[in-house]
Amino acid sequence: MLNLRHLSYFVAVVEAGSFSRAAQLIYVAQPSLSQRIASLEAELGTVLLLRSARGVRPTAQGEVLYREALAILRRVEALPTLMRDSSAEPAGIVVLGMSSTMASIFATNILKECAAALPKVRIVLKSSDSETIATVIADRDVDLGLVFETDPLPRLARRPLYRQRLYLFAARSEMLESRIDVILTKNAIVLPPSSNVLRLALDRALAAQGLAIQPRTEAMTYSDILSAVRTGTRIALLPKGEIVCGTTDLATPVPMEPPVYLTGSMVSSDEYPLSRPADAVAAIVERVIVGGVTSGALRGAELIARPVQS
């Protein structure tokens, strides 16, 4: 049966790059260490390490086991702290990353709710594109994120919350024609770069129709895209259907045809558990977003139901 000690030995060997170096670091005789790893491979029915005169490196299966074992060991290490903190009010710093478009919709209510419910938690809000938020979460620079996805992003635990239809934004209503093939012939369009999740979804939808797009302008953030739209010479596609309250220099957004959707997800590292303060913030984030979508205030937004637990 697998046990934590065998997993810790395997992690040590992978990180050391050799049995001899790992044996020195964890104070275990090298023959015993080699035998434990061989037993682990036999138990799992696969080769975990590629051995050579220069040392060892994990196989593809070994890489998977290394990531999972590391996550398990770190969760075990965190248990004493979790037990000590379980009876206290959540306190500490939580770094919350949000896509710039989602921040424009939800940030105010999330911060307001957190301030009221979690007075000892300080929120550090970071707004960027979804790809950047996903990267900094995987690198542990951000605790919790709200991002748009088309396909699941790697190295992240996720809770899909809602689907959002893409809408066309323009300064003048006469510029808005919801059919994408007409848009391509009539208007200059501003879009994020080709690596952006919105752009990937749009390019995929266009390719299915035998179309392609070459934006006149590229911009990364929600505010920069709207700045280009406000010149009166560009239109944009965004995953939201509302304009900011009090805005008078933009026409009412029009839903794109055929429909294209992005998934709004709450994400965190799949290797490290959320801290107690971050977990409390996550509950508030989910409540705010679910409430916003179910209220009907967000045009083109559809709630994604939680899977039924068997």
**What pLDDT sits at residue 244?**
65
The answer, yes or no, to whether residue 310 has pLDDT greater than 50, is no
Taking residues 114-119, report their average pLDDT: 95
Structural element, H or E, at residue 199: helix 197-208
Residue pair 203/193 in contact (Cβ under 8 Å)? The answer is: no
Do the domains spanning 4-84 and 90-304 agree at the CATH topology level? Answer: no
Find tokens 């596609």 and name the residue: 237
pLDDT per position as a tens digit, 14-25: 999 999 999 998
Strand partners, 97: 126, 145
Taking residues 107-122, report their average pLDDT: 95
Taking residues 32-53, report their average pLDDT: 91
Question: Which of 45-49, 147-151, 171-175, 195-199 is predicted with the least confidence, judged by mean pLDDT?
Answer: 171-175
Q: What share of the chain is helix, strand, coil (3-state, %, to 5)?
A: 45, 20, 35
Residue pair 70/32 in contact (Cβ under 8 Å)? The answer is: no
SS3 105: helix
The answer, yes or no, to whether residue 126 has pLDDT greater than 90, is yes
**What pLDDT sits at residue 82?**
65
Nearest to 106 by CA among 136, 143, 142, 148: 148
**What pLDDT sits at residue 87?**
59
Nearest to 280 by CA among 169, 48, 141, 121: 121
Residues 6+ apart with CB under 8 A from 136: 97, 126, 128, 142, 145
SS3 148: strand
**What would the DSSP string read from start to end of 73-101?**
HHHHHHHHHHHHHTTSPP-EEEEEEEEHH
The answer, yes or no, to whether residue 247 has pLDDT greater than 70, is no
Strand partners, 158: 267
Q: Domain 90-304: give its CATH code.
A: 3.40.190.290
Given pLDDT bands bounded at 50, 70 and 90, which one contains residue 293? Answer: very high
pLDDT per position as a tens digit, 183-201: 777 668 899 998 888 999 9
Taking residues 50-79, report their average pLDDT: 86
pLDDT per position as a tens digit, 216-234: 889 988 889 989 888 888 8
The answer, yes or no, to whether residue 28 has pLDDT greater than 60, is yes
pLDDT per position as a tens digit, 87-96: 578 888 999 9
Strands (E), the chain: 49-52, 55-58, 92-99, 121-128, 144-149, 156-165, 167-169, 189-191, 217-218, 235-238, 254-255, 261-269, 301-303
Taking residues 148-154, report their average pLDDT: 80
Q: Domain 4-84: give its CATH code.
A: 1.10.10.10
- 17 torsion bin: left (phi>0), alpha (psi -120 to 50), beta (else): left
**Rounded Cα gap, residues 126 and 142, in angstroms:** 8
Domains of the chain by residue range: 4-84, 90-304
